[in-house]
Structure 1
Amino acid sequence: MRKLLKKIKNSRKIQTFILTIALIICAGIFWYIRTNPVMPQLTIYFLNDVKLPEKGQKVLVFSPHPDDETIACGGYIIESVQREAEVTIVLVTDGNKRSLKDLRYSEFKTATSVLGVPTNNLIFLNYPDGKLAQQSQAELEKIFQNQIDSYHPDIVLYPHPGDTHQDHATISKIIEKILEQSPNKKIAYKYLVHHHLYPRPKKYAPDLYTLPPISLISFDGGWERLMLSEETENLKQRALKSYKSQLKNPLLKNLLESSIRKNELFAVESLP
């Protein structure tokens, strides 16, 4: 009987010890999240590699404004073209907030040519910059659907729903609805441009990795990395320099230059 009681007592001690360790770990995680809203640099080694297209496959990129395609997906586009995939970019708005439509379009054509995308593969929808939420959402859905149906992409790249720019969030919501209803399964990746915690630091830091804000990590759509070679990183930087009108603005300059990192980041869309 004494042996049994001693065994129970020891078992309770072990349970208490395990519970204490678990509480300490939970407290540590909570403290880290409160003090470090972005995943640490070492996290990059635990992310899966994003899937790149094979030769002959089609990649469709939805870019809200001239420059978003290069900021978020420049490396992916370069790698896709080099693998002899076909890349088409749908530019949704005219980037005309400061009456610079023609200049922004010219910069867009120059940047995308550096990325390797021919002018014939650029589609201009000409919606007013900053006003997508005010447009007919049914009309936008129909137009986006037509682009997807006519192009038959194998891979679709579009804005992340957590993006704080309203144009980006509007496009994301509509594309996700289309993809969820599509009978043809596609690979879909979401990219982030505007977020107060992304990227960190928001300045030129080409030797750092881009990592997601902890608040945007979910179990139904994990983040994946695209590691960039020095050649690809330099080519992306060259493309970004095409956006001279944006680089004149200190805030926009920081945004563009902070996208020059050792990797790009994409969230996998979990489709039915």
Structure 2
Amino acid sequence: MSLVGSNPTLSATVRWLRVHWGTGSQVKNRTIKWLLGLAWVTAGLYFADKGATYYRQGRTLPPSVINTIPEMPPHRAGDRVLVFAPHPDDEALGCAGVIQQAVQAGAQVWVVYMTSGDGFRLAVERQFRQSHPSPELHIQFGKMRQQEARRAMRLLGLADWRILFLGYPDRGLYPLWSSNWTPSNALRSYYTDTDTNPYRDTLHPGVTYCGQNVLRDVEQVLRRTVPTHVYVTHPADDHPDHAATALFVMSALARLRMQGIGFAQRVVLRHYMVHCGDWPQPQGLHEDEPLTPPPAFFNIGLHWVKLNLTPPQQVRKMNAIKAHTSQMLMMSRFLQSFVRQNELFIEQPVVLPIEASLGVVWEEPDEEDILRNLQAPGDFSAAELRMENGQAVFHINTRSKPRPGFSYSCTVHALLPNGDVTTTLLRTKPGRQSADARVDEDGVTFRLPALPSGSVLVLQAQSRFAGLAVDKTIGHVVRLP
């Protein structure tokens, strides 16, 4: 799990300044003024974020809320449980209780890591005491995190052969989902400086970094394990790798359903959350308190379930988290926040059917903070997918009228009945209209490409202000009539 890393744009800016620093006093003065302005903006954003943090902390749900959340049925012998983790340590944070309870019940359990966590730049710098770690050191760090994952899972009762690494790029899963889809447009990792998987002990060593291959590998794992239950991060998780992992897994399950694969028709899909603002609160080790949902995600129609943990199970979960030594050195307080009286999951169907006359509507989380009014034109409140004259139309409401400076995009993956997958990126902003995207008084509307009957759509829209991400819709998988 690697939210912090080196910024390619910032690095390029620094290089530019170094090249142009000595071209004259005028350039120097402009550069100094630019840096001072940047410092003021950075300080303002920092204190605004701190204020928003304290505001959100005051909105934490009361512990009594946990009593309204139903318990999920316990796992039994005969269950086949498959856990997907974007990075080593996510499986312990979200599912350590599930893993150990399922193993103790006699179920078959597997854990799959999408990446090896090799893009956590600050952790690599600390581990090797290098201010500018080489790509080789990032790969070495990834191998170290694989070993940490193996130690953690042994503590929960899983043998090494029960875990699998796919080797895709840390901090690169969302680009693979949204833009680098084919081998001809492979993604080169900024951290490992390679566009292929450099790890030997993975499902497909040397595989090219593209979305097609990720989807293929996830499908292969699903076919190999034939799960009855799948656990994966949530598509609304703040971390792009986490959101993308959910979208890949949901798409793979939908494709298998379209092919008539039996287990995919019956599988139980549960999502776990890791990154959501400053959740969970309070941070730090609070094993005597319940884990309650993020406030913004509690009353928007999501089906939350809980898994209660015994004190010995909490201890084993803590030990599994501590096995991720490189991460504990960087953010132990946050990691320990997940050792609570319970774990939380969101159950949802693999595919939502759409009726031609009704459409599909869902609410979006309202993450209130002191910046809410400023970002309201890019803050999504609800979404609707409907059919108009045989064409799918995706409308997203914003909390106030869109205004200049904000832009909107929608990534559409269409799973076709013949097995093909097409990807489409639609964009719009105030003042720019087109036949397939427009800005309305209450939000934005995207007209999706004409598709064959029975196709399945995987949708996610994003908003930005001055190029910075503001919000994204909850990713959904919808089957057209």
Q: Which amino acid aligns with 2:268?
A: I
CA positional deviation for 1:262: 0.6
Distance 1:76 1:130 in 2: 26
Distance 2:347 2:339 in 1: 21
The TM-score, its normalising length taken from structure 1, stands at: 0.82
The TM-score, its normalising length taken from structure 2, stands at: 0.48
- What residue number does 1:88 align with? 110
- What residue number does 1:7 align with? none
Cα RMSD for the two superposed structures: 1.8
Distance 1:262 1:197 in 2: 19
Distance 1:246 1:234 in 2: 18
Maintained 8 Å contact 2:57/2:278:
no
Maintained 8 Å contact 1:37/1:197:
no
Name whichever structure is richer in helix by fraction: 1
Matched residue SS, 1:91: strand
- What residue number does 2:215 align with? 141
- What residue number does 1:167 align with? 241
Matched residue SS, 2:266: coil
Alignment partner of 1:254 out of 310, 314, 333: 333
1:270 equivalent to 2:349? Answer yes
Matched residue SS, 1:49: coil
CA positional deviation for 1:220: 4.8
Maintained 8 Å contact 1:37/1:213:
no
Q: Which amino acid aligns with 2:68?
A: F
**Greater RCO structure (CA 8 Å; 6+ sep):** 1
CA positional deviation for 1:67: 0.5
Distance 2:300 2:278 in 1: 20
Distance 1:212 1:197 in 2: 12
Q: Using a 3 Å threshold, how does the CA distance of structure 1 residues 34 and 192 change in structure 2: closer, same or farther?
A: closer
- What residue number does 1:239 align with? 320
- What residue number does 2:292 align with? 211
Q: Using a 3 Å threshold, how does the CA distance of structure 1 residues 116 and 180 change in structure 2: closer, same or farther?
A: same
| 1:188-242 CA-partner distances (Å, limit 9, x unpaired) | 1100111114211122111111111122235553111111001100111111111
- Structure 2: where are the runs of 5+ without partners? 1-54, 125-137, 177-209, 352-481
Maintained 8 Å contact 1:38/1:197:
no
Q: Show the 5 A alignment for 1:127-206.
A: 127-135=168-176, 136-181=210-255, 182=257, 183=260, 184-206=265-287
Q: Which amino acid aligns with 2:170?
A: D
Question: How many equivalent residue pairs?
Answer: 238
Percent of matched pairs sharing the same residue:
29
Distance 2:82 2:146 in 1: 19
Matched residue SS, 1:48: coil
Distance 1:149 1:36 in 2: 45
Distance 2:327 2:249 in 1: 27
Matched residue SS, 2:245: helix
Maintained 8 Å contact 1:38/1:214:
yes
CA positional deviation for 1:51: 2.6
Matched residue SS, 2:74: coil
Maintained 8 Å contact 1:59/1:155:
yes
CA positional deviation for 1:34: 8.6
Name whichever structure is richer in strand by fraction: 2
Matched residue SS, 2:334: helix
Q: Which amino acid aligns with 2:169?
A: P
Alignment partner of 2:152 out of 108, 111, 118: 111
CA positional deviation for 1:52: 2.8
Distance 1:76 1:35 in 2: 28
Maintained 8 Å contact 1:162/1:216:
no
Maintained 8 Å contact 2:88/2:113:
yes
Q: Show the 5 A alignment for 1:18-37.
A: 37=59
Alignment partner of 1:73 out of 90, 95, 112: 95
Distance 2:297 2:236 in 1: 7
Distance 1:186 1:219 in 2: 24
Q: Using a 3 Å threshold, how does the CA distance of structure 1 residues 75 and 129 change in structure 2: closer, same or farther?
A: same
| 1:78-109 CA-partner distances (Å, limit 9, x unpaired) | 10000010100111101112221121111100
Alignment partner of 2:81 out of 41, 49, 59: 59
Maintained 8 Å contact 2:305/2:346:
yes
